[in-house]
């Protein structure tokens, strides 16, 4: 089976084509970068509408496939920014109708989980999903992915992006903070906010800006922010492993590109005698391949949706979606 997937929840428009066993046949994507400040949903959606038709063409070309060889069309139904989701959903509906193929709705968070799980080869790992809008520790149980712990305020990536803009940089901030942190060495105390298996970041944001106002340089600030925030994520992941008697972790979401986070979670997991896996960065950030792969799993389990019932769901939570392909 070959499935085409469309991703458009936030800043990235991407089309992926995937075959059985998560074989990635092609990915074609383009990221909207705001001229200044954060993402404006309407402008990002306009960007997606402009680039998606050509990305579909590129994805087919790169996979050496004709449209008739695509067996289903999957799209990100949510969560995400309404206008951006609608842009991708509209293109997906159009393709499904034009090609006379089933339309398969995919939850964006579950897709981050599934692509990481497929590449890891691990059957039932714990997942640390750290992205722009989401920060969750997830495990599968009885037909759904369950959120064991999460952010109580903003997603870690949005926190890093916002902080970097406040420090004079541009979007996206996560990769730039990583470069800056590698030049820092002095750890300044910042609010370490772990509540059971939940975390919060807004206190670190305020405290970092206060340190900046006192003249602390950006490399040391970035270093302190990374060490503090990633230690929080490592701690809640370890607590989840201990409670659920697990020893395998996979990372997903754009912040999982970060080498310091990877190293900290790996050190913790291996220290417990377990295994940690993180996909290549291109498959941690938003991409159409993860939507296509999850669409393939869902379609194989009998999931599809009529066009007239395919409204996007900007607030669709990870734990609201049934995952019949994992039922056991
Ligand atoms: P969500 O999955 O919650 O909808 P998203 O779709 O906005 O979030 P992703 O593409 O999964 O996000 O991740 C984007 C985020 O990843 C951005 O906030 C970006 O700053 C962050 N990011 C990317 N690379 C790195 C890195 N090397 N270190 C830290 N953060 C990073
Ligand atoms: Fe994402």
Residue-wise pLDDT for 309-326, tens only, equals 999 999 999 999 999 999
3-112+285-320 to CATH, choices 3.40.50.720, 1.20.140.150, 1.10.357.10, 3.30.420.40: 3.30.420.40
> Taking CA 254 as the corner, what is the angle to CA 90 and CA 203, rounded to the nearest 5 degrees?
110
Distance from Cα 231 to the centre of ligand 2, integer Å = 21
CB 327 within 8 A of CB 141: no
**Cα of 11 from ligand 1 centre, angstroms:** 10
As given in the structure block, the two tokens for residue 36 are: 């200044």
- Ligand number nearest CA of 285 is 1
Weakest mean pLDDT among 170-174, 183-187, 239-243: 170-174
Cβ of 65: how many Cβ atoms within 10 Å?
17
pLDDT at 36 over 90: no
Site to probe by mutation for ligand 1, drawn from 128, 230, 254 as the one with most ligand atoms within 8 Å of Cβ, is 254
Phi, psi of 253 (to 5 degrees): 90, 155
Confidence at 328, pLDDT banded by 50, 70, 90: low
Q: How many CA atoms lie within 13 A of 165 on its CB side?
A: 15
Average pLDDT for 158-165:
97
Burial category of 246 from C-beta neighbours within 10 Å (exposed 0-12, middle 13-18, buried 19 and up): middle
Q: Where are the domains of the chain?
A: 3-112+285-320, 123-282
Does residue 175's CB lie within 6 angstroms of at least one atom of ligand 1?
A: yes
- Residue where the block lists tokens 């701690």: 235
Residue nearest to atom 16 of ligand 1 (CA): 254
- Strand residues in 257-313 grouped as ranges (E): 275-277
Q: Taking the domain 123-282, which CATH number applies? A: 3.30.420.40
CATH topology match: 3-112+285-320 vs 123-282 = yes
Rounded to an integer, the average pLDDT of 241-262 is 97
CB 134 less than 6 A from any atom of ligand 1: yes
Is pTM beyond 0.75? Reply is: yes
245: helix, coil or strand? Answer: coil
- In angstroms, rounded to a whole number, what is the distance separating the alpha carbons of residues 49 and 130? 27
Residue 99 near residue 73, CB atoms below 8 Å: yes
Closest residue CA from atom 18 of ligand 1:
157
Taking 3-state DSSP, the helix, strand and coil percentages for the chain, each rounded to the nearest 5, stand at 50, 20, 30
């Amino acid at each position: 089976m070959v499935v085409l997937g469309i991703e458009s929840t936030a800043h990235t428009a991407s089309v992926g084509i995937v075959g059985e066993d998560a074989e990635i046949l092609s990915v074609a994507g383009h990221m909207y970068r705001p001229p200044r400040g954060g993402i404006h949903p309407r402008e990002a959606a306009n960007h997606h509408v402009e680039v998606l038709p050509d990305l579909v063409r590129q994805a087919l070309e790169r996979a050496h496939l004709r449209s008739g060889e695509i067996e289903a069309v999957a799209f990100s139904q949510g969560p995400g920014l309404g206008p951006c989701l609608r842009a991708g959903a509209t293109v997906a509906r159009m393709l499904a109708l034009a090609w006379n193929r089933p339309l398969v709705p995919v939850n964006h968070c579950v897709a981050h989980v599934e692509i990481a799980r497929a590449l890891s080869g691990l059957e039932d790992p714990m997942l640390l999903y750290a992205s722009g809008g989401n920060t969750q520790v997830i495990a599968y149980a009885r037909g759904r992915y369950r959120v064991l712990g999460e952010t109580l305020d903003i997603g870690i990536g949005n926190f890093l992006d916002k902080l970097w803009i406040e420090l004079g940089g541009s979007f996206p901030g996560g990769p730039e903070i990583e470069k800056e942190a590698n030049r820092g060495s002095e750890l300044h105390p910042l609010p370490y906010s772990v509540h059971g298996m939940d975390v919060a970041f807004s206190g670190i944001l305020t405290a970092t800006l206060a340190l900046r106002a006192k003249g602390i340089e950006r490399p040391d600030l970035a270093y302190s922010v990374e060490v503090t925030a990633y230690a929080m994520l490592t701690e809640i992941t370890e607590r989840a492993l201990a409670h659920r008697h697990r020893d395998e972790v996979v990372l997903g979401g754009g912040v999982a590109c970060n080498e310091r986070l990877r190293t900290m979670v790996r050190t913790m997991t291996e220290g417990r005698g377990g295994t940690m896996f993180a996909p290549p960065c291109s498959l941690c950030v938003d991409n159409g391949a993860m939507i296509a792969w999850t669409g393939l799993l869902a379609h194989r389990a009998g999931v599809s949706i009529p066009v007239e019932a395919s409204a996007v769901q900007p607030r669709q939570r990870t734990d609201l979606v049934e995952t019949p392909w994992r039922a056991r």
